[in-house]
Amino acid sequence: MTPKTKEMEIMKSDQFAENGGVPTKGYHNRWAQLVFGIICMALIANLQYAWTLFVSPLEAKNHWGLSAIQLSFSIFILVETWLVPIEGWLVDKYGPRPVIAFGAILAALGWTIDSYATTLPQLYFAAVIAGIGAGCVYGTCVGNALKWFPDKRGLAAGLTAAGFGAGAAVTVIPIASMIQTSGYEKAFLTFGIFQGVAIFILAMLMVRPKAPKGIAAVPRVVTGKVDYTIKQMIKTPVFWLTYLLFVAVAAGGLIATAQLGPIAKDYGLAKLPMSLLGLVTLPLLTLTMSIDNLANGFTRPLCGFVSDRIGRENTMLIVFVGEGLSLFGLMFFGHDPYAFMLFAALVFLFWGEIFSIFPAICADTFGAKNAAGNAGTLYTAKGTASLLVPLASVLSVGGNWDRVFIFTGVLTIAAGLTAKFVLQPMRARWIHNSNQNAGQDIVANVAPRAKVLA
């Protein structure tokens, strides 16, 4: 082999490794796969982030009560999150294509049922169907990104999650407009079918990577060398502390997501006309939601990238405390329309990053081989946090939201401090111990290590 030929072979090998161990042609390129996942996430986002637009119209027509209607939201979140471990296991076993395609069908079916629902049980059944569909798409896209990018997990998970966070920003105005002009029923049906068909087409382009070759993890991030299964992972104390932090921080954002409309209504701001750069005038709630969704999406790749550079727990400290302070700002200054828009945007800005940092820290700690199933198991924390959404309606009886803001603000700030001063040293010790025993039987060693470090 001549020196020139050898150089060419090395270059090809580097390109092969950079793509995660598979050919770089066409849609098999890992960046193309990332883009497909982002688009799928954007299309599924309305099932959660546009929900608040339907709450008041549903109540005005059916008189079911806000708490009863918001129970549908909680059911959706629970099903979306708590079934992701199963869906992630299916992805790890069969690949992303069939799971996303199935999710697309159910997502379309869920909103179609919503459009015809005349009773609460029908509304709840639609939430179950839509939740399964959303979970199939969400868990698959995030898990696939973690596998394709072992060297950029925070950024890849952040970009993928950004699709879910910012996706609704594009469609929230036309959905709100259609609700006003044609009724919420037509909005459910039209956008449900459109989103389902588009996701199904993209599912046909999704493929899973082979084992990565030649790609190292980010040096500044503490990373384990052992691949854990779901069963092994849930036996470790470091997983459960991470899970509790996820629940604590997710609660504040979920309450804001589901209750932003009622909060704006109780503050007398929802329909207040607001000008956007002097070009268009929109109701304050509609404009606020658009800005919030952009902030929610922007923070995910940004904080994912930052966490790749300064570490996961250091980033958690900054953003979790920031979210808590933003919730307090909404409580103290939210009756002013401009302050309401500002602090609502900051809540979403400091909240959305959990959907990039937590999947990344999960893969860092428990390996990439079973990343879809493991990250999906951790993602169930979002469902656990959703149980607090109806509680917010109870605490805010009479339009008094201060108790809700105090509860979620304190909880979030405490989570930031715990991440830095408890989780960080605990995880570092656990990974060091795990790496030291990388050549031994994991199953035999997980329980003894857990007892030592507990």
What are the helix (H) ranges across 95-228? 96-116, 120-148, 153-182, 184-203
* Half-sphere exposure in the Cβ direction for 242 (13 Å, CA): 32
Q: How far apart are CA 246 and CA 310, in angstroms?
A: 20
333-352 burial, b at 16+ Cβ within 10 Å, e below that, comes to: ebeebeebbbbbbbbbbbbb
pLDDT at residue 357 is higher than 90:
yes
* Tens of pLDDT, residues 322-331: 999 999 999 9
Segment 362-382 shows an average pLDDT of 88
Helical (H) or strand (E) element with 283: strand 280-283
> Is the dihedral angle over the CA atoms 279, 282, 284, 289 positive or is it negative?
negative
Paired with 112 in beta bridges are none
Q: How far apart are CA 155 and CA 316, in angstroms?
A: 15
* Tens of pLDDT, residues 168-184: 777 888 898 899 999 99
pLDDT at residue 4 is higher than 70:
no
pLDDT at res. 56? 87
Residues 347 and 323: beta-carbon distance below 8 Å: yes
What is the second-level CATH architecture of the domain 11-209+219-453? Up-down Bundle (1.20)
Q: How far apart are CA 337 and CA 330, in angstroms?
A: 11
* Tens of pLDDT, residues 21-43: 444 555 678 889 999 999 999 89
pTM: 0.75
* Tens of pLDDT, residues 300-338: 899 999 998 899 999 999 999 999 999 999 999 999 999
Cα 40 → chain centroid? 13
pLDDT at res. 445? 45
